[in-house]
Chain A
């Protein structure tokens, strides 16, 4: 059975801190890894990663994939209160379904 594990499950930081969220996976027929941000509503897409070692960046967020060690990290630098959300990691396999982790609840305090 495909499995995606995120850590930590929750994290509380102060504005300006840098955070690293972890995602490890055990799946058959890996195709891609996706990160989503969820703020009490629909998950919104952040990144899709398919190749090892290539960092994706968008503003203060960045992510990288290691297909040998089967994990990905999501970094957020200079955190802001608006970054408070659940960050979901999902793995796409053959058949188009996404398998999600439990998510990391990030709280950024002013």
Chain B
């Protein structure tokens, strides 16, 4: 399977614990995105990387959230001191962009299966 993969698929944790999610994008894709989706809502943008550079972060990404893409391939999203409000599906997507920074068009983003987080 050459699509976007995410691990784990499900995570249950207690409030206050730290959790880390991993995303492996489609291999030739240089952009990687993180979104959060709660029940009955569309995905909300959190952050994105072009290669290893984190180019944009949403206001939703509080200081308890950190994302990395150290070698420009896989990415991790860490949530520290989890709260019940962090319970959601965390989706990763990837795309292939020509050039650095923004371009004149939107590339198609392909999504992974998501990590469903439940904070008790």
Contact = CB atoms under 8 A, between A and B. Distances in A.
Interface of A: 4, 31-32, 34, 36, 41-45, 48, 50, 88, 90, 92-103
A102 B106 contact: no
A102 B40 CA distance: 7
Contacts of A101: 42
B62 interface: no
B25 interface: no
Interface in B67-115: 91, 95, 97, 102, 104-114
B114 A50 contact: no
Interface of B: 4, 31, 33, 35, 40-45, 48, 55-56, 58, 91, 95, 97, 102, 104-114
Nearest to B4: A42
A98 B45 contact: yes
Nearest to B112: A42
B115 to A, nearest CB: 11
A96 B111 contact: no
Contacts of A95: 55-56, 102
